[in-house]
Chains A and B, each alone.
Chain A
Amino acid sequence: DAGVIQSPRHEVTEMGQEVTLRCKPISGHNSLFWYRQTMMRGLELLIYFNNNVPIDDSGMPEDRFSAKMPNASFSTLKIQPSEPRDSAVYFCASSSLTGTGEAFFGQGTRLTVV
């Protein structure tokens, strides 16, 4: 298996623009997590899905952030409009609810909003 695949790896955008981050979980995994990592705040859970259904989005910072999982093999995290304080590394991870619970991470998307 190729592991969790995220795209793009790097994104530079101007303040006010829409940004869409993409994630393909490991085949057969039915939990998907979106995290944001910064030096100041560490690794923060934004939202997670079980069987494509959002379970907990309490970590989503504000209404500018939205996430979808239209099917078992694809999820998006959208920021509209983007702000410089959104600059961070965004990670997607997946795990199996019926397995040992281990989560595996993608390579991350480094977002810079100027």
Chain B
Amino acid sequence: QKEVEQNSGPLSVPEGAIASLNCTYSDRGSQSFFWYRQYSGKSPELIMSIYSNGDKEDGRFTAQLNKASQYVSLLIRDSQPSDSATYLCAALFGGQNFVFGPGTRLSVLP
């Protein structure tokens, strides 16, 4: 069974704080991982992809991958109210099959 697990939240953080979102996946052979952001009533939007162990930074976003622990995380620094959304973790299984986690709802409080 190909699965991606996330804490559904909601996760509430004050404006300016660091938001930490976590994800685990079932298939040790997976090589590609993605974070999507979905605003209410909108489609998922790709914000980060990561393929190697370690950290990948893009602006206020940092994705972290630990393949030994089958764990992916997303850190959002200096959180803004506009970051309030649902964040979906996805893994590519077998190089072809995209599987999404249930999403974590983030609320950034002004």
Residue of B nearest to A48 (CB): B97
Residue of A nearest to B6 (CB): A42
Q: Which chain B residues border A43 with CB–CB below 8 Å?
A: 44, 88, 100, 102-103
List 6 extra interface pairs beyond A33-B98, A45-B97, CB under 8 A.
A42-B102, A45-B100, A56-B97, A91-B43, A105-B44, A105-B45
Is A55 interfacial (CB 8 A cutoff)? yes
11 A-B pairs in the complex with CB atoms less than 8 angstroms apart: A31-B96, A45-B97, A56-B97, A95-B98, A100-B49, A101-B49, A101-B92, A102-B49, A103-B98, A104-B46, A108-B43
Distance between Cα atoms of A105 and B103 in the complex (Å): 16
Interface positions of A from 19 to 41, Cβ below 8 Å from B: 31, 33, 35
What size tier do the contact residues of chain A reach? Answer: 20 to 34
Distance between Cα atoms of A55 and B90 in the complex (Å): 19
By a beta-carbon cutoff of 8 Å, the part of chain A in contact with chain B is 31, 33, 35, 42-43, 45, 48, 50, 55-56, 91, 93, 95, 97, 100-108
What size tier do the contact residues of chain B reach? Answer: 20 to 34
Q: Which chain A residues border B95 with CB–CB below 8 Å?
A: 97, 101
* Leading 9 A-B pairs by shortest Cβ distance: A105-B43, A42-B102, A101-B32, A43-B100, A101-B92, A105-B44, A108-B43, A103-B98, A107-B43
